[in-house]
Structure 1
C-alpha cells in the first residue's frame, strides 16, 4: 500500500474546503491534468481515505432555533443505572436533535453546541438533563459560528482493522465482500479473514 504523498494531501485539502470543485480546477492548483486528479480521487475512495462526498449545511441559515454553547458540570463519581454520569449524559445528548456538537473536557465535564427551538432554553436544558447528576450549567448565546475544515499539516494514518495499530507502507489492503480493509501486517489480515469467515458460516 502506497503512502499518501503531498499531492494527495493537497487534493484532500481542496476537496475538504469545497467538495464541488471540478477535477480540472483542482488539477490547475496541484499541477496535474483533470483525468489525473480523477484517478487519484478514485484511488483515495478505493483505499477508504475518502468515504463519500457530503453536503455541508450551514445551519445558521436555516434559523432552526437559538444557538447556544452550554458548559455542563457533572457531579463527581455519580452514576445512573450502572453508567457513569458522563456516559449517561453523552447517551442522552446523542439522541437530542437540537445538539450539533459535544465536547468532553479533561475534567470529565461536557460542553455542547445546540440550536434550541421553542421559547425557553432553560426548559430545554431541564428536560434534557432530567434525572442526571448535574451540579451546574452555564449557557452562552452564540452570535456567529464558523468552522473551516482543514487538512493541511495533518499526517494521515490508516488504522488496522484487526488491532487498530497504524498501517504504514509495509501494511496490506484487501477487499472483502465489497468493503476495503487495511491491516498493519499479514498476520492481522489472516486473523481478520478467519474470524470473518467463521461469522459468515455461523450466520
Structure 2
C-alpha cells in the first residue's frame, strides 16, 4: 500500500469542488496524466477515502414541503438500525446519531408529515420527544489538509504507511500499519469454535 500524498489530496479537493470534473481537467491541474488520475481515484475508492460520488439536489423544487431539521430525543441509546430506519423515509436526506441518544435528520417534508414519518420509521416507545426546526440556511464546505486523509491503523492507531495492509471485513474496510496489527484484528474476530 502506498501512502497518500499531495497529489491524492489535490485530486480529492478538486472532486469535492466538482465530482463530475473530467479526468483530463484534473490531470492538467495536478500535473499527471489522465490514466494516472483514473488509477489514483480507483485506489482512493479501494482505500475507502472516496466512498462515492453524489448529486446535491434541491428537493423542494419538485417535492411538496420545506427543508426541516428534525431533532429526536430517544429514550435510550439505540442500536445502529435507527439511523438506517429513519434514512429510509421518503424525504429524509441525512441522518446523524449522537452519543447522547439524539437522532438528527434533515429532510424536505410538510411539517404535518414529520410525526407520521417518525412513527413509520421508529417505534413510539423509542421516542422521548422531538422538535422540528425550519432550515433557513445551510452550507457544506469540507476542507482538507494532508493529515485529514491519512489512514490510521484500526488496531494500534498509528499512521498507515507504504507497508500498510487493508482488509475488507463484513462489508467495512479496515487499514493496518503492518501484518502484526492485521493478524491481531483477525484473531479478535475468529469464532471460539474455530480456535478450539
Q: Counting helix residues as a fraction of each chain, which structure ranks higher? A: 2
Find the residue that maps to 2:78 and give its secondary structure: helix
Runs of 5+ unmatched residues, structure 2: none
Higher radius of gyration, 1 or 2: 1
TM-superposed CA distance for 1:140, in Å, is 1.7
In structure 1, which of residues 149, 161, 172 is the aligned counterpart of residue 164 of structure 2?
A: 172
Find the residue that maps to 1:87 and give its secondary structure: coil
1:114 and 2:107 equivalent?
Answer: yes
Runs of 5+ unmatched residues, structure 1: 79-83
Find the residue that maps to 1:131 and give its secondary structure: helix
Task: Measure the CA separation in 2 of the matches of 1:19 and 1:168.
Answer: 26
In structure 1, which of residues 121, 124, 133 is the aligned counterpart of residue 116 of structure 2?
A: 124
Deviation string 1:105-130 (CA, Å, 9 cap, x unpaired) is 5654343222225x714543673562
Q: CA RMSD in A?
A: 3.9
Task: Measure the CA separation in 1 of the matches of 2:114 and 2:166.
Answer: 51
In structure 2, the partner of 1:81 is none
1:94 and 2:84 equivalent?
Answer: yes
1:139 and 2:139 equivalent?
Answer: no
How do 1:77-92 and structure 2 match up within 5 A? Answer: 78=75, 84=76, 86-87=77-78, 91-92=81-82
Q: TM-score, normalised by structure 2?
A: 0.67
In structure 1, the partner of 2:179 is 186
Rate the CA distance shift 1:192–1:28 in 2: closer, same or farther, 3 A.
Answer: same
Task: Measure the CA separation in 2 of the matches of 1:181 and 1:109.
Answer: 27
Task: Measure the CA separation in 1 of the matches of 2:118 and 2:48.
Answer: 41
In structure 2, the partner of 1:38 is 38
Task: Measure the CA separation in 2 of the matches of 1:108 and 1:27.
Answer: 45
Task: Measure the CA separation in 2 of the matches of 1:165 and 1:10.
Answer: 25
Deviation string 1:142-196 (CA, Å, 9 cap, x unpaired) is 2455434x242252132445x27344226422678xx976322221233456789
Q: How many residues align?
A: 185
